[in-house]
Amino acid sequence: MDRQPDATARLLEAAKCGKLPAGFDRWELAYEDGWTVAHAAAAYGKLPPDFDLWELADRNGWTVAHEAAARGTLPAGFDRWDLEDAWGWTVAHEAAARGDLPPDFDRWKLSAGPSRWTVAHEAAARGDLPPDFDRWELADICGWTVAHVAAARGDLPPDFDQWELVDDCGRTVAHVAATYGTLPTGFSRWELVDDLGQTVAHVAAAHGKLPADFSRWELADRNGWTVAHVAAARSGLPTGFDRWELVVQR
């Protein structure tokens, strides 16, 4: 009778508890799903300091390094950030998803398979980009840049000025910020136009996000509708509005 599964199970349990014998080197021993002794040890932060078989993977390409990243047990000085699982998700993406990238991380361009979703996109989605980040133009397969992600969250820095960055659907970073009400105080580039011919101001008006001091009511979209008309259609004209003479520009 084959006792290997029972023996492997005992080793996996020992790995979780950090009770593997001294000099243990059979890290590749695994169940049928490919979950190795090394994965078990990584999950509980019990890998030895000199462990270097980070590429050991289960059937889904989930490496020991991915497991350690998911559990927050990667060692200081880890540098195998480009290891991928079966879908192209790198160890760096997993660490970014946890908000656990090291302070000196600089491999923001690493992308997750065909989606081209970079580590920077993942960090931006969590609001975890470093203060000195400047690779706002990095784009995924749809042209959605890191700046678009940050704009949707309201996490762009005060000195951000690349509002014209555009995705493949013609949406600028400014249009995204207008949609979510995250444009900064003092924003002035209301005339930027998307592929539908809408200015940033039209989008902000349509979502009820125009600032109290907005004054560019005469801006027209490609159909001649002014910002004032859009605001009026949603009962969004401010008290004291006095530009009643504006007409649709046919």
DSSP string for residues in 119-170: HHHHHHHHT---TT---TT-B-TT--BHHHHHHHHT---TT---TT-B-TTS
127: alpha, beta or left, given left = phi > 0 and alpha = psi -120 to 50? left
pLDDT at 6: 73
Among 79, 109, 134, the domain boundary falls at: 134
* 110 and 124 in a common domain: yes
- CA-based radius of gyration for the chain: 26
* 237 and 150 in a common domain: yes
Runs of H (alpha helix) within 33-73: 37-43, 64-71
* 176 and 88 in a common domain: no
Domain of residue 29, residue span: 1-134
* 129 and 143 in a common domain: no
Both tokens of residue 71? 């559990």
pLDDT at 249: 81
* 94 and 22 in a common domain: yes
* 120 and 23 in a common domain: yes
Q: Measured between alpha carbons, how far is residue 63 from residues 52, 130, 132, 173 in Å?
A: 12, 27, 31, 36
Please give the Cα distance from 69 to 97 (Å, whole number).
9
pLDDT at 143: 97
* 109 and 63 in a common domain: yes
Please give the Cα distance from 202 to 98 (Å, whole number).
37
Number of structural domains (the chain) is 2
* 67 and 158 in a common domain: no
Q: Smallest Cα–Cα separation from 35: which of 53, 14, 9?
A: 9
pLDDT at 4: 52
- Confirm if 236 and 208 have CB atoms less than 8 A apart: yes
pLDDT at 8: 75
- Tell me the average confidence (pLDDT) per consecutive run of 10 residues in the chain, 250 residues long: 61 77 86 87 92 94 97 96 96 97 96 96 97 97 98 96 97 98 97 96 97 96 96 94 92
* 141 and 28 in a common domain: no
CATH number at residue 14: 1.25.40.20
* 163 and 59 in a common domain: no
Please give the Cα distance from 17 to 131 (Å, whole number).
39
* 171 and 121 in a common domain: no
- Confirm if 88 and 113 have CB atoms less than 8 A apart: yes
